[in-house]
Amino acid sequence: MGRVVTLKEEAPLSLVVEKIKQSLGLDHVQVAPAAGSSSDPKIKTIAICAGSGGSVFRGVDADLFYTGELSHHEALYFVETGASVVACNHSNTERAFLKVLREQLLSELPDAEIDISTCDHDPYQTW
């Protein structure tokens, strides 16, 4: 349901955010830096959950919580306990996995025709 990734070397939050935006093809994401941290905190461990990560992240210790969405209070909790948060909207984080899922399905069903929607998009827009 989720993963915790440990980077070989610490990376500034700004770099991690840019990599997330590139990998998801997004222009904007929501970022909540850890309370009391520098303006660009260092990240070594990243907890990841596509979709809505709040319940999956319970009891997890990480420098960064990366998910589609969290409640306001969940985000406040992580920030106030020294972690940063990146939220990318629910379906944006799930959509990135579709290419991987397609390949997995094709390896099991080589004669199947599996298309990924080209018109699917997140319902939210940033204006």
90 is in an annotated binding site: yes
Between the CA of residue 86 and those of 1, 25, 49, 101, 123, what are the distances in Å? 17, 15, 11, 23, 18
Residues 6+ apart with CB under 8 A from 115: none
17: left (phi over 0), alpha (psi -120 to 50) or beta: alpha
Pairwise CA distance, residues 34 & 45, whole Å: 13
Residue 94 annotated in ligand binding:
yes
Contact call for residues 29 and 17 (beta carbons, < 8 A): yes
Eight-state DSSP code of residue 57: T
Which residues are known binding-site members for a divalent metal cation?
Answer: 90, 94
Which residues are known binding-site members?
Answer: 90, 94
